[in-house]
Amino acid sequence: MEKLFSYGTLQMEHVQTETFGRKLNGQKDALIGYTLSEVKIKDESVIKTSGTDIHPILKFTGNDSDEVEGTVFEITPSELNQADEYEVEEYVRVAGNFKSGNTAWAYVCAATELTR
């Protein structure tokens, strides 16, 4: 199983069923070293699924006092590929460190990762 952190639309049950065909099970946690921002999405299929063109996005700070709360879901490798397809070009998947001490995948701002 893979672990995937969601802080935005993938926490919505209708987005989960549309993307994965099921409701996901997860645990609350917080990603360390990021802050929450917003991005305007242009992909019509993602807008249709989520119901909005404004999505949250994580920006790397590297500051241990910066945390973003969300949910870590257990998904299959195949579902991780489906999540990759759902996310648009403004996001990149990275391994993150969490308040719980665990690691999980997270979709973060591609532009800030490039300058890291």
Distance CA 8, CA 70 (A): 8
Task: Give per-residue pLDDT as tens, 20-61.
Answer: 999 999 999 999 999 999 999 888 988 898 888 898 999 999
Distance CA 1, CA 57 (A): 24
Nearest to 93 by CA among 4, 2, 10, 13: 4
Q: Which two tokens stand for residue 80?
A: 């991780």
The phi, psi pair for 3, rounded to 5°, reads -115, 130
For position 114, what pLDDT does the model report?
Answer: 66
Q: pTM of the entire structure?
A: 0.88
For position 73, what pLDDT does the model report?
Answer: 98
For position 33, what pLDDT does the model report?
Answer: 96
For position 9, what pLDDT does the model report?
Answer: 87
Task: Give per-residue pLDDT as tens, 85-109.
Answer: 988 899 999 999 999 999 999 999 9
Residue 53 to residues 5, 43, 106: CA-CA distances in angstroms?
Answer: 20, 8, 20
- What are the chain's domains? 2-111 (3.10.490.10)
